Amino acid sequence: MKLVEIATLNNNNNFFAPISFPPPVASAPSMSPYGQPPQSAFHSMAQAPPPTQQLTNQMSAMNIGGYGQRPMQVPQSPSSSAAPQQYQTSPPLAMGHPPLSLPGQQPSSLGSPPPMATMGSMAAPPMGMSGPPGPGVHQPPLGPQGYPQQPGPYGAQMAGPQMAGPQSGAFPGGFPGGPAQMAGPPQKKLDPDSIPSTTQVIEDDQAKRGGQVYVTNIRGQVPPLVTTDFTVQDQGNASPRFMRCTTYSFPSTADLAKQCKVPLAAIIKPFATVPKNETPLYIVNHGETGPIRCNRCKAYMCPYMQFIDGGRRYQCGFCSCVNEVPAQYFQHLDHMGRRMDLYERPELSLGSYEFIATLDYCKNNKPPNPPAYIFMIDVSYNNIKSGLVKLICEELKTLLDRLPNHPSVFSEPSPIKVGFVTYNKILHFYNVKSALAQPQMMVVSDVAEMFVPLLDGFLVNFQESRAVVNNLLDQIPDMFADTNESETVFAPVIQAGVEALKAAECSGKLFIFHSSIPTAEAPGKLKNRDDRKLVGTEKEKTLFQPQRGVYEQLTKDCVAQGCCVDLFLFPNQYVDIATMGDVPSHTSGSIYKYNFEPLFFSFEVEKSIGFDAIMRVRTGTGFRATDFFGAIYMNNTTDVEMAAVDCDKAVTVEFKHDDTLSEESGAVMQCALLYTTIGGQRRLRIHNLSLNCSSQLSELYKSCETDALINFFAKSAYRAMLTQPLKTVREILVNQMAHMLACYRKSCASPSAASQLILPDAMKVFPVYMNSLLKTATLVGSTELSTDDRAFHRLLVNAMGVEETQVLLYPRLIPLHTMDVSSEVIPAPVRCSEERLSESGMFLLENGLSVFLWLGQACPPDLIQNLFSVPSLGHLPSEGMSLPVLDNAHSRKIHSIISSISQQRATSMKLLIVKQKDQSEMLFRQHLVEDKGLHGGASYMDFLCYVHREIRQLLT
């Protein structure tokens, strides 16, 4: 009998119709200049809820192949893959896809369930235990269906794995209630260890490729995971620290790309930090003639250029144009057709290098001045009374000694100039010239026509003016001690910074410390528009759209001047982050949000950084860059403008076919970034990458990288939500993933029973990341979450690289109660689920933004004594706990782990200590991404079942 229809797809029979985010509609009235998301409606999937009994039985019978078994081999079709010069194609890998099987036959009708699974292993014992639980360890009692009943956040019993209800907002076609209300015979417990595990995939890659040297001389080679510790040796392709791709084998035609629906994208982090044990980028100086580039496509000289005619000409590896070699650059070729100086010139043998730019790359053909940092502090009533202004001034005194410098001249003072502004309803500028005995204040009260009242003495060298600057920072809290001014301005503050940089003819960065919504009469005044009643409606998107007008023009002014804005927010109520964060998020700045916690912004001031940057991505024939996501500004379709670019900012670039790609020559791309160094030198940073092309979809799936894929999906969904209902965006995400996996099954996998869920080996944990993305605060759409928090998260992810999105969407959960205090190794993380916690345990959870220390109710008293210097857990307060530094092995070890984790992350992370069953545990639990979401969203297990059903629907 025919299977029950669960979903209608686009009302046609083409299962592989495009479902990606559509291009912007030119005529849309509300289009913004920032290349914002599509206006046209998505094809949504109309869903009916699944038959309850069928789904329960499917879940319980889901017999999933574990990691121990040998993956099935898929017959490969040979494909030609000769590469030019020394960039050979990688040897074909065996294709694995552990099948997740749902044994038994298809139910012929709704009423008859498939045969029950024979496996029924219990959940693994709590971390650090083997065998039966010892005293003091909580073993969850079994629920009505054999599922353990998990204690809820406050000790109440929660039902076992439940399907998300229609209001959950996790994905379309929400499921009705959990097992308790499902009829049928008792089911065996499904072992959660048998479904693909992110921690296992990370461990396996570390075991296989950790500690190795990754040599970049092979075209289309898939790098180790971002979580793996490896060393890069550049031999012709950019390091994966600079560029990562969603797949390293592009489909050769647009039709194949449409069929598989795998997005073709690169995540580029042009200023990524190079570890100390790797070679820093070489700098190439061609003197007054400047860098050699192709006459037609303007690509810069790189290893993909083919020298011919005895070395007198070269054929461009991007557009195939034949160019004359300039006389001063001529070199003879060897017997293999390679230049004799191949290994003496970085641009001929390496994937990444820098050129010193000539004057024609500079504004007005003049060398740029060194950049400036301007610190701008909100001195309104609340900030003075709370002590925040005093805290900021104290922090700045220690921080100014750590301004960034050239890597080669650390002994010299930083060339960056500094300036200071305070403000409430009016602005105060300070003269801190070294010759002065006391700083001088100048007030600008006309905020509608902003100007800088002094040039000489406003931007100074800190080392020369140290005494005057420190004097000013001591005085600021006292100067405003009696203020009763509670209103503030915001847009004029940014305008003042831009005007100051303009007057000094330099680029730079504004550090703005602000705490309330700007309500004073001035340009950019904002009104409170936080309406929770819009959540879940068609108008929800307006909560995340910035208020336009003044801020749009400010963004243009900032980018034109090379003025990057970093915003440090200390709100105690709604401040409209969607609007206030708009200028930072289009000038490659950062936004930080603090809630009554210690201030950390030293890392932001110290980062290696370039200013006034323009980036262009060039590609070989047959495909091109079509879309860009990041903290960027785009005035046209090709130039990515960044007022500044630091080591943590990433730009995600999507590619589309415009012709057939050659399997022989592959797909090449070049990222060229023109920027100003800290010392005021104009440079070009070049990153090159060559990928394979294939007419076999199995090659594409084998070369996919899940971490890069989820970075692309997060950014494209977060952009689409500005113009589409959230429900539609979530449907698209699930729909596209189901298409990708259905296409793999149809085109690449060995024939198998329909009840088996078959995943490509390289994408076996893709569903858990996708489910985690759907449950993020931004996408889940719950009235319990603040609009500002959701907007903040959206802007944050927009600028993230692959490492940051990976740990954000799958946090590390590290058991500490069983660690070896004498070892330097960090204990291996466990799966991010409540099932892994134990009452007698202690766990550290980190996601790149926060660190949680979770203490089980039965945590051993001696461990508590060693860490907190109190006799037992009961002696610890429920709020405001800190982790003291004590002189014992346990304390030293945990502080060492936290310090080690912090050094790996892009931002400084706050430590939160959480006791089991305390109110604060809610914050911690929402990061256990394999469980049902606290604000809506399915568990990993339920989501897998749902996706499997979608795939089967597409294939029938």
Q: What is the pLDDT of residues 717-742, one digit of tens each?
A: 999 999 999 999 999 999 999 999 99
Last residue of a domain, one of 607, 641, 676: 607
pLDDT the model gives residue 58: 43
- Does residue 612 share a domain with residue 602? no
What is the pLDDT averaged over residues 547-553? 90
Q: What is the DSSP letter of 97?
A: -
What is the pLDDT averaged over residues 235-258? 97
Task: Give 887's contacts (C-beta < 8 A, 6+ positions apart).
Answer: none
Spatial distance between the Cα atoms of 709 and 720, rounded to a whole number of angstroms? 16
Could you tell me the pLDDT band of residue 888, with boundaries at 50, 70 and 90? Answer: very high
Q: Looking at 123-231, list the stretches that DSSP marks H as alpha helix, in order from N- to C-terminal side.
A: 198-209
pLDDT the model gives residue 30: 36
- Does residue 941 share a domain with residue 793? yes
Task: Give 291's contacts (C-beta < 8 A, 6+ positions apart).
Answer: 284, 300, 301, 347, 355, 357, 684
Residue with tokens 């100003």: 676
What is the pLDDT averaged over residues 858-862? 92
Q: Is the pLDDT of residue 855 over 50?
A: yes
Indicate whether 868 belongs to any domain.
yes
SS3 206: helix
Q: Which helix (H) or strand (E) holds 942?
A: helix 940-955
In percent, how much of the chain has pLDDT > 70? 79
Within 10 angstroms of residue 851's Cβ, the number of other Cβ atoms is 22
In the beta sheet, which residues pair with residue 673? 615, 685
Domain residues for 571? Answer: 371-607
- Selected residue with higher pLDDT from 179 and 355: 355
Last residue of a domain, one of 668, 696, 724: 696
In b/e form, how buried is each residue of 443-463, taking b as 16+ CB within 10 angstroms?
Answer: ebeebeebebebeebbbbebe
Spatial distance between the Cα atoms of 34 and 548, rounded to a whole number of angstroms? 12
Indicate whether 200 belongs to any domain.
no
Spatial distance between the Cα atoms of 736 and 18, rounded to a whole number of angstroms? 9
What is the pLDDT averaged over residues 791-797? 96
Angle between helices 940-955 and 52-60 (to 10 degrees): 110
In percent, how much of the chain has pLDDT > 90? 66
- Selected residue with higher pLDDT from 804 and 410: 804
CATH number, domain containing residue 443? 3.40.50.410
Strands (DSSP E) found in 357-483: 372-378, 417-423, 427-431, 440-444, 460-461
Could you tell me the pLDDT band of residue 363, with boundaries at 50, 70 and 90? Answer: confident
pLDDT tens figures, 903-928 = 888 777 888 999 999 888 998 999 99
CA angle 314, 317, 321 (to 5 degrees): 55
Query: Among 296-300, 398-402, 913-917, which is the least confidently predicted range?
Result: 398-402
- Does residue 306 share a domain with residue 324? yes
Name all contacts of 855-863 with Cβ < 8 Å and 24+ positions apart.
855/913, 855/914, 855/915, 855/916, 856/817, 856/916, 857/915, 857/916, 857/917, 858/136, 858/137, 858/138, 859/817, 860/817, 863/817, 863/890
- Does residue 573 share a domain with residue 439? yes
pLDDT the model gives residue 847: 93
Angle between helices 550-561 and 491-503 (to 10 degrees): 20
Spatial distance between the Cα atoms of 712 and 265, rounded to a whole number of angstroms? 7
When divided into structural domains, the chain yields a total of: 4
pLDDT the model gives residue 190: 60
Task: Give 561's contacts (C-beta < 8 A, 6+ positions apart).
Answer: 498, 501, 502, 507, 643
Could you tell me the pLDDT band of residue 403, with boundaries at 50, 70 and 90? Answer: confident
Cβ atoms of residues 768 and 706 within 8 Å: no
Q: Is the pLDDT of residue 258 over 90?
A: yes
pLDDT the model gives residue 375: 97
Indicate whether 322 belongs to any domain.
yes
Spatial distance between the Cα atoms of 411 and 391, rounded to a whole number of angstroms? 29
pLDDT tens figures, 739-767 = 999 999 999 999 888 888 999 999 999 99
Q: What are the backbone angles phi and psi of residue 693, rounded to the nearest 5°?
A: -130, 145
Query: Among 104-113, 263-272, 677-686, which is the least confidently predicted range?
Result: 104-113
- Selected residue with higher pLDDT from 75 and 276: 276
Burial of 910 (0-12, 13-18, 19+ CB in 10 A): middle
pLDDT the model gives residue 598: 55
CATH number, domain containing residue 780? 1.20.120.730
pLDDT the model gives residue 408: 58
Could you tell me the pLDDT band of residue 685, with boundaries at 50, 70 and 90? Answer: very high
Cβ atoms of residues 238 and 350 within 8 Å: no
Q: Is the pLDDT of residue 260 over 90?
A: yes
Cα separation values, 484 from 106, 380, 678, 785, Å: 73, 7, 40, 32
Q: Is the pLDDT of residue 133 over 80?
A: no
Which among 11-15, 88-92, 357-361 has the top mean pLDDT? 357-361
Could you tell me the pLDDT band of residue 94, with boundaries at 50, 70 and 90? Answer: very low
Task: Give 54's contacts (C-beta < 8 A, 6+ positions apart).
Answer: 4, 107, 110, 113
CA angle 522, 388, 912 (to 5 degrees): 120
CATH number, domain containing residue 688? 2.60.40.1670
Spatial distance between the Cα atoms of 789 and 568, rounded to a whole number of angstroms? 14
Indicate whether 100 belongs to any domain.
no
Strands (DSSP E) found in 78-155: 88-89, 99-101
pLDDT the model gives residue 600: 62
Q: Which two tokens stand for residue 560?
A: 């034109």
- Does residue 819 share a domain with residue 805? no
Indicate whether 309 belongs to any domain.
yes
Last residue of a domain, one of 656, 672, 696: 696
- Does residue 568 share a domain with residue 515? yes
Residue by residue, DSSP assigns 524-562 as T-------GGGTTSGGGGGGTSPP-SHHHHHHHHHHHHT
Residue with tokens 């045969």: 115
Indicate whether 580 belongs to any domain.
yes
pLDDT the model gives residue 651: 98
pLDDT the model gives residue 454: 86
- Does residue 444 share a domain with residue 361? no
pLDDT the model gives residue 125: 32
Phi-psi region of 466 (alpha: psi -120 to 50; beta: other; left: phi over 0): alpha
- Does residue 288 share a domain with residue 243? yes
Whole-number average pLDDT of the chain: 81
- Does residue 521 share a domain with residue 397? yes
- Selected residue with higher pLDDT from 772 and 40: 772
Spatial distance between the Cα atoms of 828 and 822, rounded to a whole number of angstroms? 16
Q: Is the pLDDT of residue 64 over 50?
A: no
Could you tell me the pLDDT band of residue 462, with boundaries at 50, 70 and 90? Answer: very high
C-alpha closest to that of 143 among 163, 160, 156, 129: 160
Spatial distance between the Cα atoms of 102 and 753, rounded to a whole number of angstroms? 8
Query: Among 199-208, 227-236, 404-413, which is the least confidently predicted range?
Result: 404-413
CA angle 479, 483, 488 (to 5 degrees): 105
State which amino acid sits at residue 871: P
Q: Is the pLDDT of residue 358 over 50?
A: yes
Could you tell me the pLDDT band of residue 50, with boundaries at 50, 70 and 90? Answer: very low
Could you tell me the pLDDT band of residue 608, with boundaries at 50, 70 and 90? Answer: confident
pLDDT the model gives residue 852: 94
Burial of 295 (0-12, 13-18, 19+ CB in 10 A): exposed
Burial of 656 (0-12, 13-18, 19+ CB in 10 A): middle
Indicate whether 890 belongs to any domain.
yes
Indicate whether 177 belongs to any domain.
no
Q: Is the pLDDT of residue 567 over 90?
A: yes
Cβ atoms of residues 388 and 570 within 8 Å: yes
Count, residues in the chain: 956
pLDDT the model gives residue 596: 55
Q: What is the DSSP letter of 136?
A: T
- Does residue 248 share a domain with residue 308? yes
- Does residue 507 share a domain with residue 416? yes
Q: Is the pLDDT of residue 566 over 50?
A: yes
- Does residue 403 share a domain with residue 320? no
- Selected residue with higher pLDDT from 48 and 547: 547
- Selected residue with higher pLDDT from 776 and 15: 776
